[in-house]
A and B are shown apart, each in its own frame.
Chain A
């Protein structure tokens, strides 16, 4: 492990890129669960009234 304050700019940029990818993946996951939930609820309403 290294101190974040000692990071060189290249490593810091790489870490920022990794963090952005992780953030994008988490947001995509939330959207995915939302879409699946809406579809499932809509289907159940149309079947069961």
Chain B
């Protein structure tokens, strides 16, 4: 069989594993992560305040979404071994054997190159460079280097998830001003408490996979203290766009209330519960419907995780809503 014939022939799935469907390849793109990336990128694009052809704006957002998808596919390709050890990730296409890691890598590289190239040709070079940097940082720095080596993995690696609003801003304006970096800083500081709160009640999974999340390396008490420290920085940082001429009164109110609620939950997590919120495994009866059951000791961590998600969504929704409604910034 020639090489061409080999490429054209259908790939047989391993025994007891069904062949990959189209949906498996879409799952490689991490659509839920992609939706958050698109949301923050759209906010950055709108906040830039520059008139932009709506078709080109859609192309820019498509490039960011596809770039994020490509990075997600590369992440799944390289993390297939540890994904197989964690309940949250073991049904993904690569660890389940439905998609070969090499195929996921090829898809990731192709989509990433496509996204950066089109961004550079159709939008501008700055946005393309920032998009390329984001993808490379996520794959090379976070996935390949930091994730398995240090508990600071999501602190530093979080930069990749924080950059989409800057890419959106650069796509609209061709510039990267300090207000755009402020949005990056908010997501960057938000990332550690969000993922550490999650890891407080899922650390059995990370331990099984050998991923050095903060609770496993430094302990639960240290993680709780660091979560509070980050929340104390995040709360005022979240309000900052209202005093730098970027956001208006609605955003200021949302950021103030949300920041205060985050601090309250972080304090409750630190002082209100016993020494260690034991990570709870899903019971055999609930495993089909519930990935993780959360016992009473882990509830504050779960509450903080959920609130942090709502907080970030509310901040960017308020900012986006104000810009679309033409609400004037508090400070000019």
Contact = CB atoms under 8 A, between A and B. Distances in A.
Interface of A: 1-4, 7, 10-11, 14-15, 17-18, 20-21, 29, 32, 35-36, 39-40, 43
B59 A18 contact: no
A18 B25 contact: yes
Contact of A14 (B9, B18, B55): B18
Given A2-B12, A15-B19, 15 more contacts: A1-B10, A1-B11, A2-B10, A14-B19, A17-B21, A17-B23, A18-B21, A18-B25, A20-B22, A32-B62, A32-B118, A36-B55, A36-B56, A36-B121, A40-B122
Interface string B1-16: 1000010011111000
Contacts of B26: 21
Contact of B6 (A1, A17, A18): A1
A36 B10 contact: no
Nearest to B56: A39
Query: Looking at A3, A17, A43, which has the most chain B CB atoms within 10 Å of its CB?
Result: A17
A32 B271 CA distance: 54
B20 interface: yes
Interface string B96-128: 000000000000000000100010011000000
Interface residues of B, number: 24
A3 B10 CA distance: 7
Contact of B59 (A14, A20, A32): A32
A1 B20 contact: no
11 contacts: A1-B12, A2-B11, A11-B10, A11-B18, A11-B19, A14-B20, A15-B19, A18-B22, A21-B22, A32-B118, A40-B122
Interface of B: 1, 6, 9-13, 18-23, 25-26, 53, 55-56, 59, 62, 114, 118, 121-122
Q: Which secondary structure dominates chain A's binding surface? A: helix
A4 B20 contact: no
Contacts of A3: 9
Contacts of A29: 114
Contacts of B6: 1
B188 to A, nearest CB: 31
A41 B108 CA distance: 31
A39 B55 contact: yes
A6 B11 CA distance: 12
Contacts of B121: 36
A38 to B, nearest CB: 9
Nearest to A38: B55
A38 B23 CA distance: 32
Contacts of A40: 122
Contacts of B12: 1-2, 11
Q: Top 7 nearest A-B pairs by Cβ distance?
A: A21-B22, A2-B12, A14-B19, A11-B19, A17-B22, A36-B122, A1-B9
A18 B98 CA distance: 13
A39 B53 CA distance: 8
Nearest to A33: B118
Contacts of A15: 10, 19
A11 B19 CA distance: 5
A32 B59 CA distance: 8
Nearest to A40: B122
A32 B18 CA distance: 33
